[in-house]
Amino acid sequence: MAAYKDMSREELSALKQELEQEFKKVKSKKLKLDMSRGKPSAEQLNLSMGMMDVLRSDSDLICEEGVDCRNYGVLDGIREAKQLLADMMEVPKDNIIIFGNSSLNVMYDTISRAMTHGIMGSTPWAKLDKVKFLCPVPGYDRHFAITEHFEIEMINVPMTSEGPDMDLVEKLVAEDDAIKGIWCVPKYSNPQGITYSDETVHRFACLKPAAEDFRIYWDNAYGIHHLYEDKQDYLIEILMECKKAGNPDMVYKFSSTSKISFPGSGIAAIAASDANLAEIRKQMQVQTIGHDKVNQLRHARFFKDIHGMVEHMKKHADIMRPKFDAVLETLEEELEGLEIGSWIAPRGGYFISFDAMEGCAKAIVEKAKEAGLVMTGAGATFPYGKDPKDSNIRIAPSYPTLEELKEAVKIFVLSVKLVSIDKLLG
Ligand code: PMP
């Protein structure tokens, strides 16, 4: 198939008519499809139903500390949950705090604490005229929502195939002490599925920020969420890398079991240096007497150890892989060579990122909606919901069934073609 830009106006108009007929047909099916959020499917959730059986009314609910999990006690996580999540996050068990059911919640609290109380004796951000954050784009909308909520100015940093543009990151953090942090999804990033290269992680660890309270907000949400057993990305562990570089306190690492067990009913954790964790614990003991230890115990007993978790993730991958493959195959078959969009085939995570021709993303999402397909809002992958090129669209293949997904991608590629033709015809 020729590139659309090389076709004459007559050819494009004829093609448009043909595609519009096809679009009418799918529209008449009155489908209701959703590719908007990265939620696991019911089939994936079923994988963790055994967790309902590991604790019963006659179970012993005493954790390794000898504490009864039904009662108060153990502020920062029971030992067995710490071991499990420390192994998952590739950090020592003493460098981790277990929280409640959401890592996003922990990120929010971390920013909130910096606003009101400051970090390690620095001026609370709320008392400063200006606080800024670097935001690799495209990125995760809920990260951007947190910083927007606290009126922190967000600065776009373009992603490359190896992670954020590190020349720019190094320069900006070195020259501006109002820059207090950077949002990172370093493995199978949301939405591009990119894993930061060794060099990128190394350069992060060696940053020389002007602000003493600058932190890297390292959200490793997809650390073990591989799609293929034989093709996996590797990410250097950032805590150790920062320690080696003489910057042990520069990073907060977040993760959770949301897309391993049950989103919203999993367990979350932060990993950081001893000094950072000491500060976090101080505030935490005012905030709570302790998180849900019964759920921590349930997770520890269900997975047993990291090997159990890795085996469990293979089952997730078996469900996810055909869905990703179906989307990628259709994109290739239908759009390859047309020069109206580009995408990256990820090796893990939850998303496929699609870049349409400039100025087309909003219209494509609208068009797809006409035929009953809900996509993530165009612009959502950028701070303030503003994609300067109106080009990026996030595809989330996990939730629909394979059959629904195939219909959904058909609608998507038709929408891409129709909007691109309109754009070219002017
Ligand atoms: N971080 C990223 C990058 C995500 O994509 C998501 C959504 N699954 C979250 C965090 C939310 O995690 P949690 O459920 O632990 O709040």
Q: pLDDT (tens digit, 9 = 90+) per residue, 25-48?
A: 999 999 899 999 899 999 999 999
Query: Using a 6 Å cutoff on CB, does residue 85 contact ligand 1?
Result: no
56 alpha carbon to ligand 1 midpoint, in Å?
Answer: 29
DSSP code per residue over 85-100:
HHHHHTS-GGGEEE-S
Mean pLDDT computed over 244-253:
98
Domain covering 66-304 assigned CATH 3.40.50.2300 in the classification: no
Q: pLDDT at residue 206 above 80?
A: yes
Query: Using a 6 Å cutoff on CB, does residue 219 contact ligand 1?
Result: yes
Q: E-assigned strands of 90-184?
A: 96-98, 132-137, 153-160, 163-164, 179-184
298-352 pLDDT per residue, tens: 999 999 999 999 999 999 999 999 999 999 999 999 999 999 999 999 999 999 9
HEC states along 243-272? HHCCCCCCEEEEEECCCCCCCCCCCEEEEC
Cα 388 from chain centre: 21
Query: Using a 6 Å cutoff on CB, does residue 255 contact ligand 1?
Result: no
Q: pLDDT at residue 202 above 90?
A: yes
Give ipTM to 2 decimals.
Answer: 0.99
Query: Using a 6 Å cutoff on CB, does residue 220 contact ligand 1?
Result: no
Joined tokens for residue 84: 């499990």
pLDDT band at 175 (very low <50, low <70, confident <90, very high): very high
According to CATH, the topology of domain 4-44+310-425 is: Aspartate Aminotransferase, domain 1 (3.90.1150)
- Rounded Cα gap, residues 192 and 235, in angstroms: 15
CA proximity to 356, closest of 371, 343, 347, 337: 343
Which residues neighbour 93 within 8 Å (Cβ) at sequence distance 6 or greater? 79, 82, 83, 86
CA proximity to 311, closest of 415, 197, 229, 231: 229
Mean pLDDT computed over 69-74:
96
- Rounded Cα gap, residues 151 and 154, in angstroms: 9
Residue 225 confidence (pLDDT): 98
Residue 177 amino acid letter: D
Element (H, E) at 355: strand 352-356
- Rounded Cα gap, residues 29 and 27, in angstroms: 5
Query: Using a 6 Å cutoff on CB, does residue 256 contact ligand 1?
Result: yes
Where do the domains of the chain lie? 4-44+310-425, 66-304
Tell me the pLDDT of the chain averaged across its residues.
97
Residue 128 confidence (pLDDT): 98
Q: Is the pTM of this model over 0.90?
A: yes
Query: Using a 6 Å cutoff on CB, does residue 268 contact ligand 1?
Result: yes
Mutate to test the pocket of ligand 1, among 108, 218, 256, 267 (most ligand atoms within 8 A of CB): 256
257 alpha carbon to ligand 1 midpoint, in Å?
Answer: 9
H-type alpha helices, 29-102: 42-46, 51-54, 79-89
- Rounded Cα gap, residues 230 and 98, in angstroms: 31
For residue 11, list its beta bridge partners: none
The SS3 call for residue 285 is: helix
Residue 1 confidence (pLDDT): 73
Query: Using a 6 Å cutoff on CB, does residue 258 contact ligand 1?
Result: yes
Using the atom order of ligand 1, give the atom closest to the CA of residue 185. 3
Residue 117 confidence (pLDDT): 97
Query: Using a 6 Å cutoff on CB, does residue 103 contact ligand 1?
Result: yes
99 alpha carbon to ligand 1 midpoint, in Å?
Answer: 14
